[in-house]
Structure 1
């Protein structure tokens, strides 16, 4: 066993051994070490470390540089006399072993837990001492000297814990009659945090009980003026009621030891709000395993565990969240909260955080008469009620981070699962957070879904039905439910109905909430006009995949603009993307059912001449690019035309010139699809010339 190391983050980041300070050189090493210290005993992925070090601008060598930083830290610790490994490599990243070392943040949180437990048991003097020991570990602003968005977020989190701990300790000390001793401490804290109403309330009460009634009223006046000037808000209920009590010399202000340090409502019931999970749930083994990492088994983390499930409409985000939540519900003995935030409901506006908090507070036992009126006060009471408790919160169909943020508990013992279709990058900022982007079910899983609902179907009929539903659990659910509701129908009849693309969405949109079409519409109507136009254009093409230049041809715009609209479609989860492991090229995909919906929109919103013109521009792009690639493959020198320069970035033109056969191989499947589609549309010239290029392609690839 080597020397024991002491790590401190509650102030400047520092490391000490038995022989003295251990120097940590370089900002990157400090950031990596801070990330590992704030997740002791838990694996921190390399991707999370890259994001913490470089925020949104990681270099191509980011993962390699992280490995170099970790190697440097290991070397430093060994040089300080620590013979055992402190940082272990564990897929998909690294893990810091906390057992043989001291981490002040972990000890701070352990002592906070102890203080809160003693307080709940009525051991107030012991609780005050535990709070003092925890707060005594602070040596200044947390993570001083560590820069970056991660450090700012983590420091804010720790600072909030510190202030809350001080408020709880001060409440106990006031209840035990220590008002005179507290005035100086509280005065300094109010100067540092003038908008923190609970601290000001404690100061006013300490001043009043010390016979300084005028000073207490002046503290209220100063706080009210600040709140109005800076936030445009009147003080909250706590300050207003205390102010009125001081004016009336209310006897309730006389110091009397109380059973609890706060008069706020406590949870009197254990909420169990999870809706039932369907028995048809199938697959998702890897996704369930990823979510399992959220459960704070050890309680050693310092970040609130948050899981974000995202994916295209109908892919089964809600069902996965509910299935997992029921599976781990027993790990959250203080309850489970659930709400549908209606972020994508065309018939209802998204729920406001204020009204959601009202429902959560009622579920936690707060009477209507005690519900605060303002969002900030409701959020503060909500976090207070959940402090020290293990509650699972499921926020379904979130429209934005602003809608979600006030609903996040303030303690690591709780866990939150959010579902939504947009990216919400703010939810992936912590080491304890996971993001799961759901894909459609595999063919095997889709068939299993169908046969679980309809065990009498033959494997062949189940496979046909599953294929037409495109692996989307919502489509599979609607299809199987229709057959169950109409026992006189055969599977072949429904398959025939779904085979007709003009009827497919009609047949899969018959449930009580509008089915698949309603799900697609709710995402489509949130797109910008140009992104929606591009989506409709992509729906008119029959290609299995496409590059950004296809979008440029459809919109007749530079490729840089098309890439922006494609990224919007990707962020909205209406298209998918693949990145080649060979050359890093990006290919987009539009699944079959979303393509059917996009084509419907194009038929309704665009004239036939506009649709045909967009297709012709795309066909012309394929023709010109395929012709250039074929000539380059045959050794004929060509120069990129103005149109090619408009559609392709310079690096793509260079890649095409350097390896035309690679380009032809990638476009092989799409090119044949375009030949077939242009033939069907009667565009004979395009069909003939494209077929000629395809024939050359086949010969070139064969040789």
Structure 2
């Protein structure tokens, strides 16, 4: 069969085949195929027509010489098996993963080659000739994966010093995708490093004009800072291509402490791009030494940090340090880090001395330090490196305002996943077709989970343990349950457990306000309404509200009609607050 092209019949056959290929080696139910082909408006003969399409596809494969049944009947539908065959999209994903691994091993040229082979698999638009909404959505996802692979390959080739060789390709890409800032950034960089400074400035001006005319916005900060650096002739040249030089003597002392990446991580493309440009800044003006990922409990801060750290590991050849600050004070963490960095002999028992030894051990090295679940600046400060080659990635609900005073910082607040990202996560957890059988029902499930990763994984786990349940069954239970959080609490690190920890960290007055404010009517409220509910002065009420905002338990949603600040609960957090009781009367702090 290799090298042969098969002609598939009309649009309906192509749609059925595409649906099976997109779920290869998985059962696709009759109902799911009908939903995909007719987009929720099937004729009364839909099941018969699907069966006719399946029979025709089987005949095409047999006529072409396929020696085994490719589409098998499997209750409650069909499954396309790839035994002995390969799928371009699967091969593409594998090559991209190989590239990530090779890049992490500092094998830049091989990583770029893997991406070149991956991109060579594309021979036209994804799912070309398939006209159905599900195909359009999937094609958009695949096309985005292709563009991300192109951008990563360009980045690797620039690291290899191929600035002039890639110019023509980059110019064509920017012309085709004028609103992709990353491609424009790379083109400007390649032009500048090829001695074409004026062309780089023209590329910026063209992009600014196009962006303003098309979407009414100026180009992003990163492009503007690169433009300013080019004007000053202050863009650093790349280091020697494809060679990562470690700190002398560090070959045996390069820690690799990162935990495994989240198997169900999805989305966060914008956030990863911001982390790239901040912590891996391609100009000295654009580079920060610290990034702080914050957001409500269970929103995916750690998953994003670990995923990005693995993806960027090759940029830190001298090691990756990781500490979960819930389990150890700063001195314990410093001792752990020092041992990982190869420091032998007795370690200082004084925190300041240990921090000084730590900074000395990092001198001249390029190490990534990930500090997970930070609760205070005092906890983090001794763990900050002293040299400009290291980078720090911090996660936690605490605001750590002191970092703004002392350090260059990217603060990144992440929110819930989109409906499409939530669908992708549920499908990944389930590993079957249930998430696709009724997209609207799956969307409802995601919203009942607050589009929050920890709750989505819990919902997926519930369905995994109940293979006879459909998504609708779980939705019905969540809608009728008097305690939705209990239904979505699995394991010791559930959303409820995380919210319980956050509540314990509040003082008595703030904990009382947490419970009382959840009883306000409406989806959002202002400080005046909160003051009435709490029985206190508005300024005092605002102080308590801001405490909850700082703890990532309340969201600021802007100002109301009369200019007053308005606040909002995430639904699952409000359910948790409703179930609590004040630790002390909310007005007790007024007597202090």
Q: TM-score, normalised by structure 1?
A: 0.47
Partner of 1:415: 391
- Gapped runs of 5+ residues in structure 1? 1-83, 111-116, 122-264, 343-349, 615-703
Matching of residue 378 in structure 1 with residue 378 in structure 2: no
Matching of residue 520 in structure 1 with residue 504 in structure 2: no
Offset of residue 485 of structure 1: 3.0
Matching of residue 356 in structure 1 with residue 333 in structure 2: yes
Offset of residue 302 of structure 1: 11
CA contact (8 A) 2:258 2:320 kept: yes
Deviates more, 1:353-362 or 1:302-311: 302-311
Tell me how far apart the structure 1 counterparts of residues 246 and 487 of structure 2 sit (CA, whole Å).
60
Could you say if the C-alpha distance between residues 581 and 548 of structure 1 is closer, same or farther in structure 2, counting changes exceeding 3 Å?
Answer: closer
Matching of residue 401 in structure 1 with residue 381 in structure 2: no
Q: Choose which of 476, 494, 516 in structure 2 pairs with 1:496.
A: 476
Could you say if the C-alpha distance between residues 118 and 292 of structure 1 is closer, same or farther in structure 2, counting changes exceeding 3 Å?
Answer: closer
Partner of 2:304: 320
Partner of 1:309: 293
Partner of 2:571: 592
Tell me how far apart the structure 2 counterparts of residues 304 and 352 of structure 1 sit (CA, whole Å).
26
SS in 2 for 1:371: coil
CA contact (8 A) 1:296 1:412 kept: no
Partner of 2:267: 283
CA contact (8 A) 1:401 1:426 kept: yes
Q: Choose which of 483, 493, 501 in structure 1 pairs with 2:463.
A: 483
Offset of residue 429 of structure 1: 4.0
Tell me how far apart the structure 2 counterparts of residues 506 and 302 of structure 1 sit (CA, whole Å).
45
Tell me how far apart the structure 1 counterparts of residues 246 and 533 of structure 2 sit (CA, whole Å).
66
Partner of 2:536: 557
Partner of 2:419: 443
Partner of 1:452: 428
Tell me how far apart the structure 1 counterparts of residues 409 and 559 of structure 2 sit (CA, whole Å).
27
Partner of 2:140: none
SS in 2 for 1:417: strand
Matches within 5 A, 1:50-65: none
Offset of residue 295 of structure 1: 2.9
Deviates more, 1:527-536 or 1:453-462: 453-462
Partner of 1:545: 524
CA contact (8 A) 1:280 1:452 kept: yes
Tell me how far apart the structure 1 counterparts of residues 418 and 509 of structure 2 sit (CA, whole Å).
32
Tell me how far apart the structure 2 counterparts of residues 493 and 560 of structure 1 sit (CA, whole Å).
46
Could you say if the C-alpha distance between residues 580 and 600 of structure 1 is closer, same or farther in structure 2, counting changes exceeding 3 Å?
Answer: same
Could you say if the C-alpha distance between residues 373 and 404 of structure 1 is closer, same or farther in structure 2, counting changes exceeding 3 Å?
Answer: same
CA contact (8 A) 1:296 1:413 kept: no
Deviations 1:202-259 (A, max 9, x none): xxxxxxxxxxxxxxxxxxxxxxxxxxxxxxxxxxxxxxxxxxxxxxxxxxxxxxxxxx
Offset of residue 491 of structure 1: 2.6
Matching of residue 272 in structure 1 with residue 256 in structure 2: yes
Could you say if the C-alpha distance between residues 118 and 316 of structure 1 is closer, same or farther in structure 2, counting changes exceeding 3 Å?
Answer: closer
Tell me how far apart the structure 1 counterparts of residues 391 and 405 of structure 2 sit (CA, whole Å).
15
Tell me how far apart the structure 2 counterparts of residues 518 and 318 of structure 1 sit (CA, whole Å).
16
Could you say if the C-alpha distance between residues 270 and 485 of structure 1 is closer, same or farther in structure 2, counting changes exceeding 3 Å?
Answer: farther
- Matched residues, number: 362
Tell me how far apart the structure 2 counterparts of residues 97 and 430 of structure 1 sit (CA, whole Å).
25
SS in 2 for 1:268: coil
Tell me how far apart the structure 2 counterparts of residues 277 and 324 of structure 1 sit (CA, whole Å).
9
Matching of residue 566 in structure 1 with residue 545 in structure 2: yes
Matches within 5 A, 1:34-433: 91-92=220-221, 95=225, 97=228, 268-298=252-282, 300=284, 305-342=289-326, 351-367=328-344, 369-429=345-405, 432-433=408-409
Deviations 1:36-84 (A, max 9, x none): xxxxxxxxxxxxxxxxxxxxxxxxxxxxxxxxxxxxxxxxxxxxxxxx9
Tell me how far apart the structure 2 counterparts of residues 448 and 566 of structure 1 sit (CA, whole Å).
35
CA contact (8 A) 1:548 1:587 kept: yes
CA contact (8 A) 2:316 2:367 kept: yes
Tell me how far apart the structure 2 counterparts of residues 272 and 318 of structure 1 sit (CA, whole Å).
17
Tell me how far apart the structure 1 counterparts of residues 369 and 461 of structure 2 sit (CA, whole Å).
30
Offset of residue 432 of structure 1: 4.2
CA contact (8 A) 1:310 1:438 kept: yes
Deviations 1:169-203 (A, max 9, x none): xxxxxxxxxxxxxxxxxxxxxxxxxxxxxxxxxxx
Cα RMSD (Å) of the superposition?
A: 3.5
Tell me how far apart the structure 2 counterparts of residues 373 and 295 of structure 1 sit (CA, whole Å).
32
CA contact (8 A) 2:509 2:583 kept: no
SS in 1 for 2:278: coil
Offset of residue 376 of structure 1: 1.8
Matching of residue 578 in structure 1 with residue 562 in structure 2: no
- Gapped runs of 5+ residues in structure 2? 1-200, 206-217, 239-243, 588-592
Tell me how far apart the structure 1 counterparts of residues 251 and 378 of structure 2 sit (CA, whole Å).
26
SS in 2 for 1:373: coil
CA contact (8 A) 2:279 2:290 kept: no
Offset of residue 99 of structure 1: 6.4
Tell me how far apart the structure 2 counterparts of residues 280 and 272 of structure 1 sit (CA, whole Å).
22
Q: Choose which of 516, 520, 532 in structure 1 pairs with 2:511.
A: 532
Tell me how far apart the structure 2 counterparts of residues 464 and 97 of structure 1 sit (CA, whole Å).
47
Tell me how far apart the structure 2 counterparts of residues 429 and 485 of structure 1 sit (CA, whole Å).
49
Matches within 5 A, 1:546-695: 546-580=525-559, 584-602=563-581
Q: TM-score, normalised by structure 2?
A: 0.56
CA contact (8 A) 2:455 2:488 kept: yes
Tell me how far apart the structure 2 counterparts of residues 559 and 605 of structure 1 sit (CA, whole Å).
21
Offset of residue 353 of structure 1: 0.7
SS in 2 for 1:394: strand
Tell me how far apart the structure 2 counterparts of residues 299 and 275 of structure 1 sit (CA, whole Å).
30
CA contact (8 A) 1:294 1:432 kept: no
SS in 1 for 2:483: helix
CA contact (8 A) 1:314 1:472 kept: yes
